Amino acid sequence: MTVNTRPVRRGGSTRWTVGKRSLPGRRSVLAAVLVGVFLAGCSGGEDGEYPAADASGSQTVEVSVPDLSDVARQGAELFASNCSECHGPSAGGSSQGPPLVDKIYEPGHHADFSFIRAVEVGSAQHHWSFGDMEPVPGLSPEDVNNIICYVRELQYANGIFTDAGGLSACEA
């Protein structure tokens, strides 16, 4: 399933195509389905499909950085100043947070929507042992989209997923 979470311009303002409580009719059904997919996708941590990192939190991976698209380059700068502290340079993880270049976070398991959610409301500890992720303030929907594009290009280049549909955040 392809989840399109890019911001769309409607009447001059930028807003997300999913996740707005006020969306009427079919759209709120779509949002509900997406939330369902998101929650189902995250259950992998509980059933042992993905073992948690050891408590030392030393789970890091080596990431090779490809030639980035323009959108991803913008995302890389934002990632460095907002996310690297925990998710490591090039999203390879650190002692404070998990690598995002990891099978757990491939598009089919953590759709773009789960990145938007994590930035907006944070993420309670459930896959790892680093503690909770707090919300990250001060990022526009476009900023978050660019960060997602960056992480997806890193994941793609490092063999985390192979279907280029997972790079849809980069079409902006």
DSSP output for 117-132: HHHHH-B-S-SSSS-P
Which phi and psi (to 5°) does residue 43 adopt? -75, -10
Per-residue b or e along 138-167, where b marks 16 or more CB atoms closer than 10 Å to that residue's CB: ebebbbbbbbbbbbbbbbbebebbeeeebb
Interface residue with ligand HEC among 15, 54, 126, 159 (CB under 6 A) is: 126
> CB-based contacts of 132: which residues, under 8 Å, 6+ apart?
122, 123, 124, 125
Q: Kindly tell me which of 67 and 132 has the beta carbon lying closer to ligand HEC.
A: 132
SS3 state of residue 93? coil
Site for ligand HEC in 52-91 (CB under 6 A): 82-83, 85-87
Rounded least distance, CB 171 to ligand HEC, Å: 19
Rounded least distance, CB 101 to ligand HEC, Å: 12
Rounded least distance, CB 114 to ligand HEC, Å: 4
Judged by CB under 6 A, which stretch of 22-30, 66-74, 128-136, 160-168 contacts ligand HEC?
128-136
The candidate with the shortest Cα–Cα distance to 117, out of 132, 136, 138, 101, is: 136
Judged by CB under 6 A, which stretch of 7-15, 58-66, 94-102, 154-162 contacts ligand HEC?
94-102
Q: Kindly tell me which of 17 and 146 has the beta carbon lying closer to ligand HEC.
A: 146
Rounded least distance, CB 41 to ligand HEC, Å: 8
Q: Nearest 5°: CA angle at 163, between 159 and 43?
A: 80
Sites of contact with ligand HEC (CB under 6 A): 42, 82-83, 85-87, 96-98, 110, 114-115, 118-119, 123, 125-128, 130-131, 133, 136, 147
